[in-house]
Amino acid sequence: MQLCSFYLIDQERKSYGIVREEGVIDVGSRLGAECPDLKSLLQRGALSDLDAFCSLPADHPYSAIRFLPVVENPGKVFCVGMNYADKRKEFAETIEAPTLFVRFADSLAGHEQPLLKPATTQEFDYEGELAVIIGKPAYQVKAADALQHVAGYSCFMDATVRDMQFTWFTAGKNWQQTGGFGPWMTTADEIPDPQQLAIKTWLNQREVQNDTTASMVHPVAKIIEYISAFSPLSAGDVIITGSPGGVGKKRTPPLFMFPGDVIEVEIEKIGRLRHRIA
């Protein structure tokens, strides 16, 4: 099952639903105040309740909606840096422990919404990544049990203001509308092994990243174990698991994003996330 969050343009309201080829089955309108958004649905442990709606026809064509971030207001967004072998080589990374930083919810953007290049930078870089959406509370869980706490997976464009990163990654990662999140979430039952997914990034239809999640230094289960050892994770929290090599900063010459450019991330079994730079 694939689930998205959206804004219904003609009715001026937010909702979420089941993704179909012809459009979206509006689950939010059916569950109402009981589960007004995808985060609340996950918090209630009600994901399996959606099976009852899967056979319904789509309520809204895609032309009638504007995509929102898959989880619009996650309580926590943890990001893992330097987590692919080629990326570690590019940046000469030698630290063995996962490199962590945070994103804030107000830096996120939905599929087909513009990513905003800050006027102060000429080093707006791309990083295509796998996002993990937590489905039930996880605190001090072991890697062997960690994937049982995952609701699903999505694509993420972790756009980076390189000349504001320095040694504190957070400063380069939290500019307004720089974290693309979507188009939707594929539920975990359809991705039993998140370490077997092809991941690619295109800038203006030029392939700039091509790898597989098998190249992660710290796999998803280990990341959840590491983070939950010190920070309780709640349903609706998100973990961004790192970018493959090929980022613009380390190319010769460097390759950065500018207004009018189109950046896309595609992950096997999930879909293709697309943004224009503004």
Q: How far is CA 266 from the centre of its chain?
A: 11
User: Which amino acid type is present at position 45?
Assistant: G
| Average pLDDT, integer, range 55-59 | 97
> 46-55, 80-89, 211-220, 230-239: lowest mean pLDDT where?
80-89
pLDDT value at 167 more than 90: no
Question: Is residue 53 classed exposed, middle or buried when 0-12, 13-18 and 19+ CB atoms within 10 A define those classes?
Answer: middle
Where are any strands of DSSP class E within 192-247? 198-203, 206-212, 238-240
**What tokens does 147 get?**
């994937």
Residue 163: its pLDDT value, please? 86
Whole-prediction pTM: 0.95
82 vs 21, residue with greater confidence:
21
Compute the Cα dihedral for 55, 194, 129, 47 and give only its sign. positive
Per residue in 96-130, pLDDT (tens digit) is: 778 899 999 999 999 999 999 999 999 999 999 99
Q: Is 153 exposed, middle or buried (0-12, 13-18, 19+ CB in 10 A)?
A: buried
Residue 91 pLDDT exceeds 80: no
Q: Which residues neighbour 12 within 8 Å (Cβ) at sequence distance 6 or greater?
A: none
Beta bridge partners of 159: none
